[in-house]
Structure 1
Amino acid sequence: MAADERGVESIRVLIADDQRLMRDGLRALLELQAGIAIVGEAGNGVEALARSAALAPDVVLMDVRMRQMTGVEATRALRERGERPRILILTTFDDDQYVFDALKAGAAGYVLKDLPAADLAAAIRTVHGGGVHLDPAVASKVVAELSRLQTPAAAFPAPDPTRFPASPLVEELTPREREVLRLLATGASNREIGAQLFISEGTVKNHISNILGRLGLRDRTQAAIYAKEHGLS
């Protein structure tokens, strides 16, 4: 994290969008928000990977449709490289395929470009804190998909096995892990989960790591969707 002129730690943000006007606008709006520092910009997915490696941002604001490498491809590449930034998809597209591809790739949030600057700043803070943030229009699509998956198999074709990896039964989790997973699915950060369960953030992180390993999931976004799919939220 970067520190502002008052010495207060700020969230380091990298903006990745192929439209210069959009990047300039986002920078101007977010620089007015307390606790957020824009550390760089990228005009496509390839540049986003290079700038992320060089600048070590806390959060990457990632557009979906960019030349050379899409936002989804860049998100997947960042996760596969094990880099730390949380990815917040910021786009004009709320198409189902974009939404689920982005979440599957490891994005921690998905918001649309018509939201107010203060709401975007709040979304950045949420994902930086370890939470998941979905635009209401996008969240409704996720809920609809989960409802579809819970419908008896005879009514619909089998769900795409590549969308989420096969996982052991929820019963594989300890009672405490189930509590953590339930709170994680609400979008709570590690700090908020710890406060509610009276445990440290470090212990929360350990529980989440165990949950991901037991369920064969990649990140907390997939864990949150898994929890909703299995009635734990």
Structure 2
Amino acid sequence: MYRTINILIVDDHPLFRQGVRYSLQDEHDIKVVGDASTAEEALQFISLSPPDVAIVDINLPGMNGLELTRQIHRTYPSLGVIVLSMHESDEQAFNALRAGAAAYYSKDISSVQLAQVIRRVARGEYVINEVMFDEPKVAQRILTQFRDLHQSVTTEADVDFTLFSPLSDREIEVLEKIAAGHSNKEIADSLSISTQTVKNHISSILRKLSLNDRTQAVIYALRRGWINAPLDTPPPPLRLPDVEDAEA
């Protein structure tokens, strides 16, 4: 028996809210339980009946979507927030993640993709528009900003730093190498282990964190302060998974 994922839609355009409702009506494990046109309405709804996931427009009137996301994350940390924007922006993606969003996508996301993202967020995953991460420079900028944030801010209310890590010391080392943009072979050479061992560590990391790919794992770890990628030299461009990496 599947668990129903309760959804709140927050957008100031009635037609968009209706469109999201319509697009999700055939998803038997997803139920839209409410909608709101402002952040204040959303917070009131959540205080009475917290949903599992909130879909939030970044450009709300009054309190914007980022501030709403920040307040939700502080008060209801288990509530996953999907931030939607009219335009794809790595700056907005970083700000959304920093505010506590679990996902960031543009509003041209398909209904099938939105349903998939909702399910992943409900499982506790972090999801960024894959189109954005197809651009290595964009991905590297977001990851670098997270490294800068961890270097300069050790205690900040809107950043989720968790001291406990389920990862081993070696797995942390591997994640730091991934954050620096290294391939499996480069990681293996630098740690004096085999490429297969690197792949095994990556598989273990993804399994422990219930995530699907390396980039998600790096962001997840950086948000919690588990890894601290070196900043003394400019990191190499973030690599997209090549043949050997895709097998991990």
Shared fold per TM-score greater than 0.5: yes
The answer for the alignment partner of 1:220 in structure 2 is 220
Selected match of 2:87 from 93, 102, 125? 93
1:144 aligns with 2:145: no
1:164 aligns with 2:149: yes
Q: Which runs of 5+ in 1 are unaligned?
A: 1-6, 150-158, 187-195, 206-218
The answer to whether the 8 A contact 1:110-1:138 is kept is no
The answer for the alignment partner of 1:80 in structure 2 is 74
Q: Which runs of 5+ in 2 are unaligned?
A: 155-163, 180-202, 211-218, 240-248
Structure 2: which amino acid aligns with 1:127?
V
Render the CA deviation track for 1:78-125: whole Å, top value 9, x for unaligned. 112244211111221223332211111011110111121111100111
Q: Rg larger in 1 or in 2?
A: 2
The answer for the alignment partner of 2:196 in structure 1 is none
Change (3 A) 1:41 1:229: farther
1:130 aligns with 2:124: yes
Structure 1: which amino acid aligns with 2:223?
A
Render the CA deviation track for 1:15-39: whole Å, top value 9, x for unaligned. 1111000000000101112310111
d(CA) in 1 for partners of 2:227, 2:86? 28
The answer to whether the 8 A contact 2:93-2:128 is kept is no
Change (3 A) 1:59 1:145: same
Name the SS for the 2:69 alignment partner.
helix
Name the SS for the 1:9 alignment partner.
coil
Render the CA deviation track for 1:45-74: whole Å, top value 9, x for unaligned. 222222122221111111100101111000
How many residue pairs get aligned? The number is 187
d(CA) in 2 for partners of 1:12, 1:134? 21
1:176 aligns with 2:168: yes
The answer to whether the 8 A contact 2:82-2:102 is kept is yes
**TM-score using structure 1 length:** 0.65
Change (3 A) 1:86 1:173: closer
Q: CA deviation at 1:228?
A: 9.6
d(CA) in 1 for partners of 2:81, 2:221? 11
1:33 aligns with 2:30: no
CA RMSD of aligned residues (A): 4.0
d(CA) in 1 for partners of 2:87, 2:224? 22
**TM-score using structure 2 length:** 0.62
